[in-house]
Chains A and B, each alone.
Chain A
Amino acid sequence: DADVTQTPRNRITKTGKRIMLECSQTKGHDRMYWYRQDPGLGLRLIYYSFDVKDINKGEISDGYSVSRQAQAKFSLSLESAIPNQTALYFCATSERGSYEQYFGPGTRLTVT
């Protein structure tokens, strides 16, 4: 019954590799977000999209890129992964005009 799904759930990759994290939603929301969470720190916004043709940088976009393939899909790419990108990554969605955000289950990424 998950409305926001993320794949993969866990991934181990090596420094320099390209990796893509995918997010899909069935909530019909226009707005989608990518966050990363590091131990003891608050979630930080990487990129967000208010519509299929709209892409915006968050506070920590360096080293990341995104693609909004459809209203329901928002992918996050690490072009050349580095160890300090090891973190928990969350996708979230929200409806226009609503304060509520709905989070996916997260992807645990380890870069060795």
Chain B
Amino acid sequence: KNQVEQSPQSLIILEGKNCTLQCNYTVSPFSNLRWYKQDTGRGPVSLTIMTFSENTKSNGRYTATLDADTKQSSLHITASQLSDSASYICVVSAAPAAGNKLTFGGGTRVLVKP
């Protein structure tokens, strides 16, 4: 069964500090992995999309890594800001042969405190 597990479920960090979120998946065959940011009361917004051949991608202060061999990804937030308070969702897409099915993780809720 395809699964996406995220850790931690939640974390609190002080403004200006860095943090790293983890995503482990069992989706196969793999196509791509996405990280979304979801503000409270809003729809998810894409941060990064990585295919099998990419092992790192940045979007401003967000840097995602992918290890397709171990089926792990991380999202690193540098110099956190209050506006980074949100849920971060890891999403893994199966390959076209498996219908491009998306499997969503349960998210990590990040709270940045001043």
Residues of A within 8 A of B (CB): 4, 40-45, 90, 92, 99-106
A59 and chain B: residue at smallest CB distance: B101
Check B107 against A105 for contact (C-beta < 8 Å).
no
How many residues on the B side are at the interface (Cβ–Cβ under 8 A)?
22
Check B46 against A42 for contact (C-beta < 8 Å).
no
Task: Give 4 closest A-B pairs by Cβ, nearest first.
Answer: A42-B104, A103-B43, A43-B104, A103-B44
Check B43 against A105 for contact (C-beta < 8 Å).
yes
Check B43 against A104 for contact (C-beta < 8 Å).
yes
Check A44 against B43 for contact (C-beta < 8 Å).
no
Check A99 against B104 for contact (C-beta < 8 Å).
no
- A sample of 11 inter-chain contacts (CB < 8 A) reads A40-B106, A42-B91, A42-B104, A43-B44, A43-B89, A90-B43, A99-B31, A99-B34, A99-B49, A102-B46, A105-B41
